Amino acid sequence: MIRHVAKGFSRVAALAGVFGLASGAALAQGEVKSPTLDAVKKRGEVICGVDTGIPGYAYQDSAGKWQGLDVSLCRAVAAAIFGDPEKVKYIGTTSKVRFSVLQSGEIDFLVRDSELTLTRDSALGLVEITPNFYTGQTIMVRKSLNVAHAKELNGATICLLTGTTLETNIADFNRANNIKIGTLLFERPEEAFAAAEAGRCDGYTDDGGSVAAARSAMKKPDDWVFLPETLSRQPLGPHTRQGDDRWTDIVKWSHFAMLEAEELGITKANVDEIKKSSTDPQVRKFLGLEGDLGKGLGLTNDFAYNIVKAEGNYGEVYEATFGSKGLGLPRGLNNLYRNGGLMYPYSWY
């Protein structure tokens, strides 16, 4: 009996050893294996799905150069892979087709002010990575309506984008308050902005960042006011296709690199000096001077340095796009956790 148990135990142990070796080998392969990363490197550029044009998130300036918070993440991923933030091809996508464009493989990842929801996470075959912007659905109306609250919009018509959660949220708000707010749907934000300004609707609704962008695009911004109600929570963030975990990790940690840089006090302006002089072990690991933080992602160990050198930290990006140098929105929920916000980078070490 004892011999039988020992024999059975040795067989189990042997099998465990085999599977342990196999899983270890798979893990070693998994550290660098990514079909998307391989394709990106072979192509020589990242293909990034962004908005067709909303100030703050993604738009082309007067020189035709893409700018915005979402654009910065595209550039950060390119800097992480190639050491060059310019190696990006931008594909403007509408709210209606943005997910199908990603599903089809036309883009490598989507970062288009897209809300992270259970339905999208479970039904689209996509990965919702992490929020890069926290906001909520907001309504902007003409001052001339003399409306102070959303409940007073009974009978009004609001412009919004099709293929979003916005219409459902308006419908739910109508039901909850026994009112009727009409909607006028558009595929492109610039079309919705123009329709609102032309008087085809009484207001515009979207996430708070997009509503601020809409107001900035009006000929007379002071003619428009934000209503105080938030119709829904809207954590916005990038999406990748399921089945390529390593690629998802690269996009995720490119975002966290900008947050970690702010946490450590590293900026675009001081990163070279800090790299040269710092003796802080955390800083040295983060900048690739010690350890192998990039190896598991299939990147060089200085990938975070390359991101900060190209784009700066998250606070710098926010200020340039939505903050004092952009649309003038306070950081609020998009502050670091230590400043009362929700931005909380994962641990690096």
Task: Give the residues across from 225 on adjacent strands.
Answer: 141
Q: Is residue 1 part of a domain?
A: no
Residues 216 and 70 in one domain: no
**Unique residue bearing structure tokens 């300004």:** 197
Residues 85 and 124 in one domain: yes
Residues 249 and 229 in one domain: no
Residue 210 CA, distance from chain mean position = 14
Give the count of alpha carbons within 13 A of 338, CB side only: 6
- Give the pLDDT confidence score for residue 31 in this predicted structure: 53
Instruction: Tell me which of 233, 267, 282 is where a domain ends.
Output: 233
Q: Is residue 4 part of a domain?
A: no
Residues 141 and 194 in one domain: yes
Residues 141 and 113 in one domain: no
Burial of 297 from C-beta contacts in 10 A (0-12 / 13-18 / 19+): buried
Residues 147 and 114 in one domain: no
Q: Is residue 118 part of a domain?
A: yes
Residues 261 and 214 in one domain: no
Q: Is residue 196 part of a domain?
A: yes
Q: Is residue 246 part of a domain?
A: yes
Per-residue pLDDT tens digits for 157-190? 999 998 888 999 999 999 999 999 999 999 888 8
Q: Is residue 105 part of a domain?
A: yes
Residues of the chain with pLDDT under 50: 1-30
Residues 154 and 126 in one domain: no
Q: Give the CATH number for residue 217.
A: 3.40.190.10
Residues 261 and 122 in one domain: yes
Tokens of 227: 């209503």
- Give the pLDDT confidence score for residue 143 in this predicted structure: 93
For residue 221, the enclosing domain spans: 135-233
- Give the pLDDT confidence score for residue 95 in this predicted structure: 86
Residues 91 and 143 in one domain: no
- Give the pLDDT confidence score for residue 239 in this predicted structure: 97
Instruction: Tell me which of 179, 210, 233 is where a domain ends.
Output: 233
Residues 140 and 126 in one domain: no
Cβ neighbours for 55, distance < 8 A, ≥ 6 positions apart: 68, 213, 216, 217, 326, 327
Q: Is residue 2 part of a domain?
A: no
Per-residue pLDDT tens digits for 256-283? 999 999 999 999 999 999 999 999 999 9
Q: Is residue 28 part of a domain?
A: no
Instruction: Tell me which of 233, 266, 298 is where a domain ends.
Output: 233
Residues 211 and 70 in one domain: no
For residues 78 and 47, what is the distance between their CA atoms, to the nearest angstrom?
9
pTM as predicted: 0.84
* Number of domains making up the chain: 2
